[in-house]
Amino acid sequence: MSLEIYLDLFSQPCRSVYIFTKKNNIQFDHKKITLFDGSQYGEEFGKINVLRKLPAIKYGDFCLAESVAIMMYLAEKFHTPDHWYPADLQKRARVNEYLSWQHSSIRIHGSRILWFNLLIPKAMGVEVPKEKIDNAVEDFDGSLKLFEMKFLQDKPFIVGDQISLADLVAVVEIMQPVGAGMDVFENRPKLKAWKDRVREEIGAELFDEAHQALLSLQEDVKTMDPKKMDPLKPKVLKYFLS
Amino acid sequence: MRIRRGRIPSSSSWTHFTAKMPLELYLDLHSQPCRSVFIFAKINKIPFEFKSVDLSTGEQYGDEFGKVSIIRKVPVLKDGDFILTESIAILQYLAANHHTPDHWYPADLQKRARVDEFLSWQHTNIRTHGSKVFWFRGVIPAVTGAPVPKEKMDAAVEDLNVSLKTFEEKFLQSRPFIIGEKISLADLVAIVEMMQPVGTGLDVFQDRPALNAWRDRVKKEIGVEVFDEAHKSFIHLSECVSLESNP
């Protein structure tokens, strides 16, 4: 029975699932979906995930959406090393706590910065009010402060001495604004040291491979057909700018 | 219940004793995630000390609460020295630590994944939109004395409608509960979020017979008494708040 994983590595939750499966040598059929083309709205993908989002997996007849749920499932199903999602209840709770908190904080604010600073103005040709950009940066900054004060503190990784799903999900989200040219780690030495540790644990090659599409985005939008993202424009503008 | 072993020195020897450490739950039942934790602990007979935090007075920003959680949100669990935030994490921890019946958070990997899938999705869908409608209908007009502009209100209600439609079509379908025959953490979290706009007089179950039937099943499984106790102070909001915005 083959595991199919539907991914677009521009997307943060796709990167965490990709890195997790690769790092743990979980064999899978990489099904590439291009979000910017609106492929997630096609009929075929609708049979995999009616939510029309990535990532999604199909394992035999079992389809599953939501990266956090996917990684928890894969960790148990494929018996990955304990540190990713510890059996110890309190350590596991710390992972769950971060995975829950990040949805409405770092994830949202990091996403906004990439869309406001790069994709909406440069790929869609729509100006974003300065106030919205400033607010997004301030919110993201607030999230990073809480991340350092509450979740990381003086530990090497979020749960302690070893990397877990929490660090993996955190790092892919914190990288997102880097795609728009923001140096997230400037003047944040503790955060930078943590990112470097996480990258080393994952493996620099895998980390860089997963982030290649994101980090070449600034160049790619220069030559992107302005009409390419037209199908997505109404949804995106309603979601981010209303 | 956590049992701690300690030692009391006597004149000639050490004596072992055990002392129960009460679980503390910091809650304000106006908050959806507080209600799910409250209901779960109650129906599973998990003894706890209810530590009230009054969000409306900003108690979460005070020094005392800051020592409990710098995130300044509720609910918070304090189990001895172990402090945990985020209702999803708290529910998962309580289910495992107190060995609650399997159906709440099944050991079966695919069933558990279905619960996790909903618990992940709901953060930025039903929770976000239900909260927004609650704020727009109930809180902002009460605090500012003015209604939220119609366009913003309509957009918020529309987003909530879309979430509810997705809930019915993807998560519930024609099953009695989200993962099948039995109630789970997913239904519990879903119901408290959907009740939030109801607290402002917007009955999300009206004209949605399948959702209404699911709500009745969930309420019955939880127990009407506990359900109503959890929602008591909250439902009265719709009686107290002046609803100047559009229904």
| Nearest CA-CA distance, residue B152 and chain A, Å | 9
Greater confidence, B146 or B4?
A: B146
B82-97 tens-digit pLDDT: 999 999 999 999 999 9
A115-147 tens-digit pLDDT: 999 999 998 889 999 999 999 999 999 999 999
Mutate to test the interface with A, among B120, B131, B148, B170 (most CBs of A within 10 A): B120
Find tokens 């509960």 and name the residue: B177
Q: Using an 8 Å Cβ cutoff, are B184 and B221 in contact?
A: no
For residue A148, the Cα-to-chain-centroid distance in whole angstroms is 19
**pLDDT category, B15, cuts 50, 70, 90?**
very low
Q: What is the DSSP string of A173-187?
A: HHHGGGGGT--TTTT
Residue A123 has what DSSP assignment? Answer: I
Which residues of B touch chain A, with CB atoms under 8 Å apart? 70-71, 82, 84-90, 92-93, 96-97, 109-110, 112-114, 116-117, 119-121, 123-124, 127-128, 155, 166, 169-170
The one-letter amino acid code at A149 reads: M
pLDDT of residue A1: 86
Give me the residues paired with residue A29 across strands.
A4
Report chain B's mean pLDDT, rounded to a whole number: 89
pLDDT of residue B244: 36
| Nearest CA-CA distance, residue B45 and chain A, Å | 20
Domains of chain B: 11-100 (3.40.30.10), 103-245 (1.20.1050.10)
CA gap A106, A171 in Å, rounded: 10
| Nearest CA-CA distance, residue A226 and chain B, Å | 28
A59 φ/ψ angles, rounded to the nearest 5 degrees: -125, 95
CA gap B113, B184 in Å, rounded: 12
Find tokens 């604004």 and name the residue: A177
Report how far apart, in Å, the C-alpha atoms of A229 and of each of A36, A46, A224, B52 are.
6, 20, 9, 49
Classify the phi-psi angles of B3: left when phi > 0, otherwise alpha if psi is within -120 to 50, otherwise beta: beta
A59 close contact with B: CB closer than 8 A: no
Q: Which residue of B has its CA nearest to A54?
A: B121
Give the residues of chain A that fall short of pLDDT 50: none
B152-200 tens-digit pLDDT: 999 999 999 999 999 999 999 999 999 999 999 999 999 999 999 998 9
Q: Using an 8 Å Cβ cutoff, are A70 and A24 in contact?
A: no
pLDDT of residue B21: 73
Cβ within 8 Å, pair B84-A97: yes
Report how far apart, in Å, the C-alpha atoms of B39 and of each of A98, A99, A210 are.
23, 23, 42
Mean pLDDT computed over B128-141: 94
pLDDT of residue B233: 80
B107-119 tens-digit pLDDT: 999 999 999 999 9
Q: What is the DSSP string of B113-153?
A: HHHHHHHHHGGGTHHHHHHHHHIIIIIHHHHHSSPPPHHHH
What is the pTM for the complete model shown?
A: 0.93
Cβ contacts of B90 on chain A, cutoff 8 Å: 93
Q: What is the CA radius of gyration of chain B?
A: 20
Mutate to test the interface with A, among B23, B82, B87, B93 (most CBs of A within 10 A): B93
CA gap A173, A191 in Å, rounded: 13
Cβ contacts of B89 on chain A, cutoff 8 Å: 93, 96-97, 99-100
pLDDT of residue B241: 53
Looking at B47-108, list the stretches that DSSP marks H as alpha helix, in order from N- to C-terminal side. 63-68, 87-97
Give me the residues paired with residue A30 across strands.
A5
Q: Using an 8 Å Cβ cutoff, are A64 and B117 in contact?
A: yes
Q: Which residue of A has its CA nearest to B162?
A: A51
pLDDT of residue B245: 35
Q: Decide: helix, strand or coil at residue A84.
A: helix
Greater confidence, B39 or A235?
A: B39
Which of B116, B121, B170 lies closest to A72 in CB terms? B116
Looking at chain B, list the stretches that DSSP marks H as alpha helix, in order from N- to C-terminal side. 32-43, 63-68, 87-97, 109-121, 126-134, 140-144, 150-166, 185-198, 209-222, 224-235, 237-240
- Is the pLDDT at B9 greater than 80, yes or no? no
DSSP β-ladder status, A29-32 and A56-59: unpaired
Q: Using an 8 Å Cβ cutoff, are A48 and A64 in contact?
A: no
Mean pLDDT computed over B59-86: 96
pLDDT of residue B238: 58
CA gap A201, B95 in Å, rounded: 31
**ipTM value > 0.90:** yes
Q: List the one residue out of B120, B118, B125, B28 whose CA is nearest residue B73.
A: B28
CA gap A32, A39 in Å, rounded: 10
Cβ within 8 Å, pair B93-A96: yes
Report how far apart, in Å, the C-alpha atoms of A179 and of each of A57, A122, A209, A219, B77 are.
26, 13, 14, 10, 37
pLDDT of residue B13: 43
